[in-house]
Structure 1
Amino acid sequence: MALNPHLQHKPVVIASNNDGVVVTGNAAAKALGLGMGVPLFKAQDLIKKHDVRVFSSNYALYGDLSQRVMAVLEQHTPEQEIYSIDECFIRMPEFAEATTYARNIKETVKKWTGIPVSMGMATSKTLAKIANHVAKKQKGYDGVFDLSTARNAEGILATFPVKEIWGIGRQYNKWLLSQGIETAKELRDANEGMIRQKMGVVGVRIIHELQGISCLPLELVAKPKKEICVSRSFGQPVTELADLQDAIAAYASRAAEKLRQEQQVAEAMVVFARTSPFKSGYFRQSATVQFPIATSYTPAIVEAARKAMERLYEPDREFQKAGVLMVGLCSETTIQGHLWEKDEGWEKRKRLMSIMDEVNTRFGRGTIGIAASGAKQTWKMQSKWRSPRYTTCWAELPVASC
């Protein structure tokens, strides 16, 4: 919407990988029944009737815009926890009046990035997420709501469904409903002993958070990743080993790039491929590769992935999906050396990867790549409705006319 204001009041949905189902949509689309999980092929009549705009997932654009929004938020507070691509927690400065300060942040983000955001404030993370829900869904608050000072706070908790509370999954929701606990207020006032017996310390922590007692401090430093996975569904079934190896080389290359972004290396890699689970003769196979020395070096990871794919490949199979899982992750500063490995070899490879990453960051992902991933790439995901990568690709910059 920010980069295409003509869509402001039109129904818009975003499709999943391979343009299969709806993964999200704006309020206008949801009002038509186009919610998450709706198969696009079943909704074609509805889409045509209401002129619904459909877009393929555009991860490069989403990631870049997310980083821009987070950077703006970081300038307004010294304490920030990035929770997901579209959500973060910040600590409001003690000197500031919360609502006024939040409105200023909201307006700055909109002005600098074009992205509308909503802000919910409270004395705990769990209550802040409820406040954000109110700010986003209920009219009259203009995207900003402070639950800690709201006169109707009790009424909001009394009508807020327990299933929507942060940390309450499907099974816990089912059990809570069986106990007559249907709202956030009822859970807040529930017997701690009963909740502890069924939900453990996590349940008690949720109760305290709903009472306004902060039990979940901001995580100012992101925890190191324990594993990194890159997998994709193919745009069409793949039957040839060469195509599978090209695909797995591309995924392995991306996984190596992610490792370096996290300043990590991997001790091992799991390569996997499968056919469609909705067709007869379902087949899934995997192979594990142990690296002599933990690495993030793209050529070594790609070569190992291609060899592993050769081991698990079977002719006459129509493969639908493949991927790599990097495991045994550790910091690149704590690599366990090898008797025959020379330090200068590692430094040379590290410099080479640093240059490649720098070029791809500056000119767009894929500017420099591995030839082993193939040229035609007929296996790539379908994304025929992808919007331009306005902020990450020079060739797709928005055009201004005067």
Structure 2
Amino acid sequence: MSKVFALVDCNNFYVSCERVFNPKLAGKPVIVLSNNDGCAVARSNEAKALGFRFGVPVFEIRALIKTHDIQVYSSNYALYGDMSRRVMETLSQFAPEMEIYSIDEAFLDLSDVPGDCLTAYGRRIQAAVRQWTGIPVSVGIAETKTLAKIANRLAKQSKKTGGVLNLTASSNRDRALAEVEVADVWGIGRRYAEFLKKNGIVNARQLRDADREFVRGRMGVVGTRMLQELKGFCCYPLEENPPVKKGITVSRSFKAGIESPTQLNEAVAAYVSRGAEKLRKENVAAGVLMVFVMTNRFKQERYYCNLETIRLPVPTSDTAELIRYAGEGLRAIYRRGYCYKRAGVMFKDLVSAGPIQAGLFDDRDRRRSKKLMQALDSINTQMGAGTLTHAAAGLGKGQRWRTVYKKRSPAYTTNWAQLPTVV
């Protein structure tokens, strides 16, 4: 039996999440901003129609925001993460196998669905996600992941499709591939796109029909597989269990520079806390912790950047233990007289958090530590992120390192105190 994949992608996901709990935003131009409210990272179709580019800095568009009455929101990652979970749980009801590809898209295996029912089945998926979560999605269906990506892209662009496009055994596939620029093919980066265009390959159809040896010689095995995928031969199966991450990084830029070692230490402790939470969620422990700081390279001041690597005696995901080591690392690289613009931590050498061989001189009660972290995560899951924090991350006011979210909506689904009320 030949494979059939569906790529389900949420439309303007961050904006759609805001609209679920604020229906007045429907039909209005909306943008969602990045950390520290710096750039536009999500735009409604209405905002796109006004010419707002992805990543445009807010200071460049303040006048346009006022002129067109654009609704502006800070990123609300707690809300988006929970809504993503709900969407993925809904999608899991429609396929025996699913690969969560990102926060707002997933591949489904529809190989068992009869060919003449695929489009209708795609509309069932679309309707269920909208009804159960409030999030609009587009569905692209094809024999390979690469073709499903293309089908999804075209489904979003054309109103005639109603948000669902099936390219399996389609007589219109040639025309569909011709409509997609080669730079928009899944896996084609800027360098390859420039190379292909210089050689007269400007769309997906031309890439599919390109000489195999020519592509292999310039793009290697990756290029050959891409050609096969465009021809309808599956080279990339679903990854239901993604490989263990090689590392986890948590870092932020500060709205205003920081000179105080106390505030810098609080920032690093907060980033360690977030990273340790991610480690436990992935059920892994870190064997290496890296701490880094840097000043603003774009200012005409002395530039300073440094990193300290700490090899941990025993791989761990214990927040308190990691904060202690991070503090030691920060003290080793901190220099007075500099105004720091960014800091962060990286966790490397990740191993399974199952039974770990303790060091000869390790006197930490690992069993008690594990139970404490489980309790911490449980409370923060039930009562909202950040309900319980380590004191090393500071206690609130006057923290210049805190990410700025001046226009953030409530955490409607993850914080009891911010649940929407009906009057």
Is the TM value for this pair above 0.5? yes
Question: Residue 301 of structure 1 corresponds to which residue in structure 2?
Answer: 322
CA shift at 1:24, angstroms?
A: 2.0
Matched residue SS, 2:56? coil
CA shift at 1:95, angstroms?
A: 3.8
Distance 2:77 2:296 in 1: 24
Identity %: 45
Letter in 1 for 2:405: S
Question: Residue 298 of structure 2 corresponds to which residue in structure 1?
Answer: 278
Where in structure 2 are the equivalents of 1:369-388 lying within 5 Å? 369-375=389-395, 376=397, 377-388=399-410
Question: Residue 254 of structure 1 corresponds to which residue in structure 2?
Answer: 274
Question: In the alignment, does 2:79 pair up with 1:61?
Answer: yes
Letter in 2 for 1:237: G
Question: In the alignment, does 2:253 pair up with 1:224?
Answer: no
Question: Residue 4 of structure 2 corresponds to which residue in structure 1?
Answer: none
Question: Residue 92 of structure 2 corresponds to which residue in structure 1?
Answer: 74
Matched residue SS, 1:336? coil
Question: Residue 311 of structure 2 corresponds to which residue in structure 1?
Answer: 290
CA shift at 1:149, angstroms?
A: 4.2
TM-score by length of 1: 0.97
Question: Residue 28 of structure 1 corresponds to which residue in structure 2?
Answer: 46
The 8 Å contact of residues 77 and 93 in structure 1, kept in 2 or not, is answered as: no
Distance 1:20 1:341 in 2: 45
**Deviating more after overlay: 358-367 vs 202-211:** 358-367
Q: 1:121-175: per-residue Cα shift (whole Å, max 9, x none)?
A: 0000000000001111111111111011433221111121000000000000000
Distance 1:352 1:303 in 2: 16
Matched residue SS, 1:198? helix
User: Quick one: which of 381, 390, 398 aligns to 2:412?
Assistant: 390
Letter in 2 for 1:392: T
CA shift at 1:93, angstroms?
A: 4.8
Distance 2:62 2:108 in 1: 42
Q: 1:245-300: per-residue Cα shift (whole Å, max 9, x none)?
A: 01100101111111111110001111011111211222111111111101111111
TM-score by length of 2: 0.92
Question: Residue 110 of structure 1 corresponds to which residue in structure 2?
Answer: 130
**Deviating more after overlay: 277-286 vs 298-307:** 277-286
CA shift at 1:324, angstroms?
A: 0.3
The 8 Å contact of residues 238 and 379 in structure 1, kept in 2 or not, is answered as: yes
Matched residue SS, 2:241? coil
Matched residue SS, 1:304? helix
The 8 Å contact of residues 3 and 114 in structure 1, kept in 2 or not, is answered as: no
Matched residue SS, 1:75? helix
CA RMSD of aligned residues (A): 1.2
CA shift at 1:340, angstroms?
A: 3.0
The 8 Å contact of residues 363 and 394 in structure 1, kept in 2 or not, is answered as: yes
CA shift at 1:235, angstroms?
A: 2.7
Letter in 2 for 1:37: G
Distance 1:153 1:222 in 2: 30
User: Quick one: which of 303, 316, 338 aligns to 2:337?
Assistant: 316
CA shift at 1:100, angstroms?
A: 1.2
Question: Residue 69 of structure 2 corresponds to which residue in structure 1?
Answer: 51
Where in structure 2 are the equivalents of 1:3-402 lying within 5 Å? 3-96=21-114, 97-280=117-300, 281-341=302-362, 345-375=365-395, 376=397, 377-401=399-423
**Deviating more after overlay: 257-266 vs 87-96:** 87-96
CA shift at 1:191, angstroms?
A: 0.3
Letter in 1 for 2:269: A
Question: Where in structure 2 are there 5+ consecutive unaligned residues?
Answer: 1-18
For this pair of structures, how many residues does the alignment match? 400
CA shift at 1:334, angstroms?
A: 4.8
Matched residue SS, 2:265? helix
Matched residue SS, 1:89? strand
Distance 1:234 1:341 in 2: 37
